[in-house]
Chain A
Amino acid sequence: MTTYLIRRILYAIPILIGVNLITFALFFFVNSPDDMARLALGGKRVTEEAVEKWKRDKGYDKPHFFNVREQGHARFTNTIFFTKSASMFVFDFGVSDDGRDIGTEIRTRMWPSLAIALPTFSIGLAFYITFALILAFFRATYVDVSGVVACVVAMSISSLFYIIGGQYLISKLWHLVPISGFDYGVDALKFLVLPVAIGIVSSIGANTRWYRTIFIEEIGKDYVRTARAKGLSEARILFRHVLHNAMIPILTGVVVIIPSLFLGSLIMESFFSIPGLGSYTIEAINNQDYAVVRAMVFLGSVLYIIGLSLTDVGYTLVDPRVRLS
């Protein structure tokens, strides 16, 4: 197990280097720092000194990979790549445009994000699997057919409409919960209910249908026929045998996204003005704060790769046939 984990981590390193190089190329080769400086300072009437000063302040006034003016290892360390991109490997994300340390921001902002994303994820999962089991239980009847049609209609509606509609109905018309905002401690609850509920409802169609497909596929397998021949009730087959065996495909899709829950949801957080990482990213995009976007891209892939490794480990826990070797 330990050796397997170590191998997974070693396997992740080249991927992270790739991600790092992609973001570096995207942010420093597509446009030169001069272009970015001009845009940030506004328009074409920018003096050369102002551009130089902007680059110096941001630390962009260095060569990309190799600094010929330095001696020894400083030739490699005193470059944009080393100070801005490679430093992210030790989670040193630098400072944002408003002068704050990005690492500290991430550490404080991930908790509100998690407060929304974790309940949405876990309660949602329970809902979707329950609905899918009900549909699978009544398969090929009107309950199933109308359920699937409802799912298709639900997944054809843009998530933006669920949010706008939910905010309008529940907060503006019925005044049940505040329309947006966030608070810490127990007070957070009243701000959390609506985004969590909308988050669950908005993806109910796609998810229920997806889990239903998994269950239906599982029901067609031989062991189900054997169980029926043995005289087990349909409900017992579905809720014990099928559900257990369907855990493997379900886990594949689910475990991968658990670490990424830290990142929060861009849209949810900006609609409900929750001070999480999602709204942090959106603000950075709108303010063209490249340092923050770069940091979030890197953090996102680190979390995704952790999720991939967790999935593999999760397999061994639910499926004794899979041995990590």
Chain B
Amino acid sequence: MPFKPVILWTDALLFLLLAAAVGLWLHMRSRPHLLQPWRNLVQSRQAMGSMVFLAFFMAVGLLDSMHFRLRISPADATQESRYRVQTLSALDVLVGPLRTQTEKTYSAPLATHLFAKETIEAAGDGRTRAYPRLTYGGAHLSDPATEWLPDVLRLIAAGLGLGAILWNALALLVTGVLARHTGREFGQTWRAIWQHREPLPWRTILISAGFIVLLLAPMALLATRYHVLGTDKVGQDVFYLTLKSIRTGLLIATLATLVMLPLATALGIMAGYFGGWVDDAIQYIYTTLNSIPGVLLIAASVLMIQVYMATHPELFDTIEQRQDLRLLFLCLILGVTSWTGLCRLLRGEALKLREQEYVQAAHAFGVSHSRVIRRHILPNVMHIIVIAVVMDFSVLVLAEAVLSYVGVGVDPTMTSFGNMINAARLEMAREPMVWWSLASAFFFMLVMVLSANLFADALRDAFDPRISVASRGKA
């Protein structure tokens, strides 16, 4: 094999989560009453519009989670194959030169020269202080002063054109598939989509996809010749770093939930359903944990993990594995500190459900506790769980940035939004200011969190029975 797959802990958990989601969907497919809220959800324009953006981030995150090590080409065929130490991801391969084309230090977005003056050996009169040309950014231009603007404009125009073609192809494909599926004519389906007469909000989906394509295509073309978003202190491409940060944010948001979910669900339902001493014990546990201020508990735990990892270097071989282990511990800690809210909600709900007639009927028939919980309690608290998971997503992405700033977040060598912002703090103090890495982190984080928030709102509207009853009453 030309490469050897490397499965980091967090990768494995992310794929496990994905498998669980697929499993859940297969389970629900044959149960229409469980599918109903999801059907409401996919018909909501807000949900599907933001879902397109989230899907983009997830695609980047998933690509970046497929890790492997390339094989070193052996000198002769008899040699045992060996692999490079460096772990790459599918995303690294996809963006190709972005990863390797590093400059000396800062350079502005689309710049052709370094950001700081340096002493250059001139041909005739010794040395001069000037901005040296970049090694890669705009290296194909012979005279940047005159050629730069036309070249950039040409690339942007070509990118927009490419984006338009891609987007049209996508729109035609969707219409074609839809027309075939429903047995209508192509033109008829096309009009139905754009007049918003389809059950699914295809127009919103296509417009959102259009935004992404039209933004990314010019950036991708520009990235082949320039550093679209500039370079950072050690000359790394900021666009590349931003793309890499997406995985970190995504993982923290999903894995912390994965840790929190079984804990909160099991304890919350048990406390509400059984009552008595079980309830007292669980309430005591979460009141105690809850009374420690969140940041302090996380800080204390991360400090201890730091010591643990420093004294146990045998747990990891490469830098990637160290970063990964630290990320995993951070997710664990975030999960353990954040389950109390959902647990309390579930306890309250289970307390109410326990008194329902159908639960009492089940008891009268001699149905076992575990079966009652599985068949009657769990499906009826599912909406609370789903809402809590999605609401937590954006909170956790934002928390990562703050925690990394405080120094108890992800590994300092790992690319993440928090570490980018943290570095930007010093860059802002420079004169003239280095603004681009902060701006890129800001923009991508805003889009990610905003689409997560909008999606969460739409999902809550679709799932919360209280809200749907209230809005039906109004109408």
A contact set with B: CB distance below 8 Å: 14-15, 18-19, 22-23, 26-27, 30-31, 35-36, 38-39, 152-153, 155-161, 164, 168, 220, 260, 263, 266-267, 270, 281-282, 285-286, 288, 290, 293-294, 296-297, 300-301, 304-305, 308
Contact = CB atoms under 8 A, between A and B. Distances in A.
B307 interface: yes
A161 B408 CA distance: 19
Contact of A301 (B291, B408, B453): B291
B307 A153 contact: no
Contacts of B292: 19, 22-23, 297, 300-301, 304
A161 B402 CA distance: 10
Nearest to A34: B311
A35 B296 CA distance: 22
A247 B322 CA distance: 49
A267 B300 contact: no
A156 B446 contact: yes
A113 B405 CA distance: 19
22 contacts: A15-B284, A15-B291, A19-B292, A27-B304, A31-B308, A35-B307, A35-B311, A39-B310, A39-B311, A156-B453, A157-B449, A158-B449, A160-B421, A164-B424, A267-B406, A285-B303, A286-B407, A293-B299, A296-B296, A300-B292, A301-B291, A304-B292
A159 B300 contact: no
A31 B307 contact: yes
A305 B445 CA distance: 35
Contacts of B421: 158, 160-161, 164
Contacts of B406: 266-267, 270, 282, 285
B146 interface: no
A205 to B, nearest CB: 9
B474 to A, nearest CB: 9
B454 interface: yes
B450 interface: yes
A20 to B, nearest CB: 10
B300 A23 contact: yes
Interface in B285-320: 285, 287-293, 295-297, 299-301, 303-308, 310-311
B384 interface: no
A297 B407 contact: no
B284 A18 contact: yes
A158 B402 contact: yes
B162 interface: no
B308 A35 contact: yes
A31 B446 CA distance: 38
Nearest to B451: A156
B242 interface: no
Contacts of B446: 156-157
A8 to B, nearest CB: 13
Given A159-B402, A263-B293, A297-B292, A30 B304 contact: yes
B457 interface: yes
A153 B454 CA distance: 9
Contacts of B424: 164
Contacts of A160: 401-402, 405, 421
A249 to B, nearest CB: 15
B442 interface: yes
A164 B453 contact: no
A157 B450 CA distance: 8
A308 B113 CA distance: 59
A30 B470 contact: no
A143 B56 CA distance: 32
A147 B398 CA distance: 22
A288 B470 CA distance: 52
Contacts of A39: 306-307, 310-311
A38 B311 contact: yes
Given A18-B288, A266-B406, A30 B296 contact: no
A297 B297 contact: yes
A155 B288 CA distance: 29
Interface string B378-422: 000000000000000010001001100111100000000100010
A308 B292 CA distance: 13
Contacts of B172: none
Contacts of B305: 30
Contact of B288 (A15, A36, A300): A15
B304 A158 contact: no
A188 to B, nearest CB: 24
B291 A305 contact: yes
Contacts of A285: 299, 303, 406-408
Given A156-B453, A301-B291, 9 more contacts: A14-B284, A23-B300, A35-B308, A152-B453, A155-B453, A164-B428, A293-B299, A294-B300, A304-B293
Pick from A160, A267, A308 the residue with the most CB of B within 10 Å: A160
Nearest to A149: B454
Nearest to A307: B291
B307 A152 contact: no
A158 B401 contact: yes
Contacts of B428: 164, 168
A285 B310 CA distance: 16
B425 interface: yes
B267 to A, nearest CB: 15
B58 interface: no
A158 B299 contact: no
A220 to B, nearest CB: 7
A45 to B, nearest CB: 14
Given A23-B300, A220-B470, A301 B293 contact: yes
